[in-house]
Each structure stands twice: as structure tokens, then as C-alpha cells.
Structure 1
Amino acid sequence: MRVVLDAIDPMPALRQAKVDAVNRSFNTVAAESLHRDQAHAQKRLWAATNDQRLAPEAELRGITVVELSAFILSKPDAAAAREMQRQTIMKRIDQARTPAELDAI
């Protein structure tokens, strides 16, 4: 008895390898900036209510808590932006139909 296999689709394995590589890359960046991301997230929470815990930094900068809060809230959320970028890449990986398209990501 002879078994004949139709062409085996390499895309699922290639796609998973790409997903794993992208996640490893983003995890490395996140690990390297964890302290900064946590500090920024906390400051964004305080800034939303002009919390006086921002007073020492405001004084250091020579501005008011309200001014510092406005400054903090005007800056993009780096962690959220990084996650949006990762999700965009994941969508492109999901949409890739050929190994060449995956390589281009």
C-alpha cells in the first residue's frame, strides 16, 4: 500500500515561527523598558487627577502639578503604542499567503 500526500502547506508552521519571533522581539523591548513603562503608567494615572504625588517632580522642573499633569498626558503612551504596533504586525502575519509575504514582514 502506498500513501500519497498532497502538497503539505508550509504556511502554518512558517506563520507560527514568525509570530514567535515577533513576540520574542517585543518581549525583549518590553523587558528592557519595564521600569520606565511602569513609572509612566503610574504618572499618567496621577496626572489624570492632578495628584499631589507629582509635586516633587513638578517642583524639580519648576512648574506646577497642573502643568506637569498636562505635559504627562500630552505624551503618547509608549506601552500602548508598542502593543498596537505588535497587533498590526500580527494582523499582517495572519494575512500573509506566501512565505515571501512573511519574509517581507
Structure 2
Amino acid sequence: MNPNNHSLSLAVKDIHASKTFYEKLGFEPVEGTGPIENNWIIMKKGHSLIGLFQDMFEENIITFNPTDARSVYKDLKNKDVTFLMESDSIHEKKGPCHFCIEDPDGNQILFDQHND
């Protein structure tokens, strides 16, 4: 897992106000740039990524995007890490998949693989 390939996923109350705020900080939309009415957008500044999500989850989440989430999943499973959720596709050989764990303080950590 490459720890440099991560983002913060923020639960926001008003997607339009949040987008405007992060644009003032120099972030630019890079994904989810269709109708913002879909209630999510990914913004980037340099190597920093912030996902803004309205009405999708209650807490802020750190998201890692490993190239092989299944290997990370198996490693954590072998270390008796508890999973909050996992996609059905995590048990398939290819394709997108994701799972979520939490640290001892209840902070959620999402591992989300977009590609094969």
C-alpha cells in the first residue's frame, strides 16, 4: 500500500458552500465535476485530495486508494483487524473493491480500489 495515495473524505452539510470554500484555498475539482447535485466532488491541490460528500456518511474518513486492496484486506484479516464493512467484490479476483476499518479512537479508514 502506498501511503502517499490517500485523501480525506469530509462529510459536509452544504456541498456548494464547501466547494466554494476549498476553491478559495486553491483546490480545483477533479472528479465528480458533473452535476454537483450528486452531492459529492473530489478536489485537488498539488498532491492533496479532499473529497466532499453531502448526505453520504456522518463522519469524516481518511481514504487510502491502494493498487491491490485485496492484499491489504488479507493482511489486515490475518492480523485480526475488525472490519466495519466490506464490499462483496473484495472476495473476487479482479475489479473495484473496498472495505472500511476504524482506529482505536473510532476514526474510520476506507480502503478503496478503483481499478483492477
TM-score bin, normalised by smaller chain: under 0.3
What is the TM-score when the length of structure 2 is the normalising length? Answer: 0.22
- Structure of greater relative contact order (alpha carbons < 8 Å, 6+ residues apart): 1
Whose helix proportion is higher, 1 or 2? 1
| Higher radius of gyration, 1 or 2 | 1
Whose strand proportion is higher, 1 or 2? 2
